[in-house]
Structure 1
Amino acid sequence: MKNKRAVIVMTLAILFGLGAVVMASRWLLTQPAASASRIVVAASDINLGQRLTPEMLKLVEWPAHSVPKGAFNDPQKLSGRVLKTSILMGDPLSEAKLAPVGTLGGLSALITEGKRAITVRVNDVIGVAGFALPGNYVDIIVSTETEPQPQGQGQASTAREQSISKIVLERILVLAVAQEVNRDETKPKVVNAVTLEVTPEQAEQLDLARSVGTLSLALRNQVDPAAAQTTGATKQNLLPAVAPLRPVAMPVAPPKPRVQAPLPAPAPQRECVKVINGLHASQECF
């Protein structure tokens, strides 16, 4: 009797389980299939300025509702294109990350239209101890000597040259340090040359500045667009003349009263008597 009851319970459990499986499968079949697309992503890390090859790319499934704008679905369409930004493995490729068609690889692909690249020589101090990395913004400071100004028409100048340091260019983009353009590097690297992106007018100013004085780079915040309102530093405003100290009058002590010496006591008066003895006369005082 007990075995019969156990068999019935097990049979019912199996039937209910099979019924649940059938109902779940039917529900899943009635649900709309999730749509997906295949897009091109990076098969490995790729630095900016590199020309793409099919081996660098691969196709992956991507949710159709979140496909990036301008994404590609054929790796062959990207063959020979040049990246203008670094991408990591698995990042989708889009038109916004690519240089125009026909652009050659290298630094020229990174230069914004209408701008130029110019290289300046630096050292570990001028180059902000290696922290001026590609993608950073810097200000250019020139240290030079000002020319003396004439005092008047027909008069020779009597003013002397004076040293001055002045910010001449602001918010200049660093394209490369030495010969590297990788913008993902965050560690400082001391180099002897920095390539900057400037307008043609700024290129002329920078070329003149490095010929008339010494250049220094000042690293600035990436999101700070404010201009520096400075007049330049000279010896006069760096070390202003110190006004001479006025002599302090010391208080004069009043003269001490003179103490007069006491007058000598008058000699006591004596009474004298003249004594005559024969032919001799004498005087006795008492």
Structure 2
Amino acid sequence: MRNTRALTMIAVALVMAMAAVVLAAQWIVGQSASNSNKVAVALLDISMGARITPELVHMVDWPSNSVPPGALLDLKSADGRITRANIQRGEPIMEGKLAPAGTTGGLSAVVAAGKRAMTVRVNDVVGVAGFALPGNFVDILVNTQSDFHGDSAPREQAISKIVLERILVLAIAQESNRDDTKPKVVNAVTLELTPEQVEKLDLARSVGTLSLVLRNQIDPASANTEGATKSSLLDDGRTPRQAPAPAPVAAAPVAPTPAPRPHPPREPQGDKIEVIKGLDRSSQQF
């Protein structure tokens, strides 16, 4: 009898424990579902300029309080979009890394709004030995002849001048992958420029030779140089520079010399007699 009651109590306790576990699990699932969102995440590595298909993306649960701004929350909004940057496997699909809806694939989807893509011919020296890779920033240097106006007639002299600064490299040859950091010597580099910079670069390559200068990725400072000429190249600071001629000083007005006064005419000298009277003396002229 006692054994039956003990077994009954044990069975009731197990049933209640199982019910508590089920209720707790449901509560936890409910809490996690209310505190999470579905986020579109890359299932594979997606290269820049590629079109996103459902096979490349899947939805995962993401805590609501840490969803990245701009993350896509459904597969429909990501289907058919073109990537403007490389997306790694497991990375959320961000709106900022996608071209506007309806954009066709290719390099044109990567060009920012208001910018243009222009290709310039380079070699192993002009292209910084292949270190100018997609995603890097470069300055553009032109070597040409400038009109020099000195004391004599105008003449031409060689000058090297930075004409464009902090220009983004979009592609080298036919490659636009920004994850590859291995130097590649190519014969063409595609740059992202504003319309004004496109005109300036086209003129620069027609009047002289171009060189790319690799710059620091996070340095926005401008060089503001005057350019290097032959005279500035050979001037080592030891040659004294001729001081500029002082400005002519206006001469003070000279006061006119007063005309000499005429001397009064002298009286003709005659006979002179001196008369002495006691202590008095006088003279008379005849």
Correspondent of 1:174 among 155, 169, 172 = 169
Q: Which residue of 2 aligns with 1:12?
A: none
**Equivalent AA in structure 1 for residue 187 of structure 2:** N
- Give the TM-score of the pair, scaled to structure 2: 0.70
Alignment of 1:1-286 (within 5 A): 22=17, 25=21, 28-29=24-25, 33-35=31-33, 36-149=36-149, 158-240=153-235, 243=239
Instruction: Give, in whole Å, the separation in 2 of the partners of 1:225 and 1:71.
Output: 29
Instruction: Give, in whole Å, the separation in 2 of the partners of 1:71 and 1:160.
Output: 61
Instruction: Give, in whole Å, the separation in 2 of the partners of 1:54 and 1:25.
Output: 38
**Equivalent AA in structure 2 for residue 172 of structure 1:** I
Give per-residue Cα distances to partners, 1:127-175, cap 9 Å, x unaligned. 1111111111111000011235486xxxxx6344211100001111111
**Equivalent AA in structure 1 for residue 202 of structure 2:** D
Which entry has the higher C-alpha Rg, 1 or 2? 1
Aligned length: 223
**Equivalent AA in structure 2 for residue 233 of structure 1:** A
* Percent of pairs with identical residues: 59
Shift of 1:26: 8.0
Secondary structure (helix, strand or coil) at the match of 1:224 reads coil
Shift of 1:69: 2.6
**Equivalent AA in structure 2 for residue 34 of structure 1:** S
Residues 25/113 of structure 1: CA separation in 2 closer, same or farther (3 Å cut): same
Instruction: Give, in whole Å, the separation in 2 of the partners of 1:141 and 1:229.
Output: 13
Deviates more, 1:62-71 or 1:193-202: 62-71
Shift of 1:71: 2.6
Name structure 1 gaps, 5 residues minimum: 1-14, 152-156, 245-286
**Equivalent AA in structure 2 for residue 91 of structure 1:** E
Deviates more, 1:65-74 or 1:35-44: 65-74
Residues 229/150 of structure 1: CA separation in 2 closer, same or farther (3 Å cut): closer
Shift of 1:22: 4.0
Secondary structure (helix, strand or coil) at the match of 1:126 reads coil
Instruction: Give, in whole Å, the separation in 2 of the partners of 1:125 and 1:218.
Output: 10
Give per-residue Cα distances to partners, 1:218-266, cap 9 Å, x unaligned. 111111111102111111111127659xxxxxxxxxxxxxxxxxxxxxx
Name structure 2 gaps, 5 residues minimum: 1-9, 241-286
Instruction: Give, in whole Å, the separation in 1 of the partners of 2:17 and 2:69.
Output: 41
**Equivalent AA in structure 1 for residue 32 of structure 2:** A
- Give the TM-score of the pair, scaled to structure 1: 0.70
**Equivalent AA in structure 1 for residue 235 of structure 2:** P
Residues 55/143 of structure 1: CA separation in 2 closer, same or farther (3 Å cut): same
Q: Which residue of 2 aligns with 1:283?
A: none
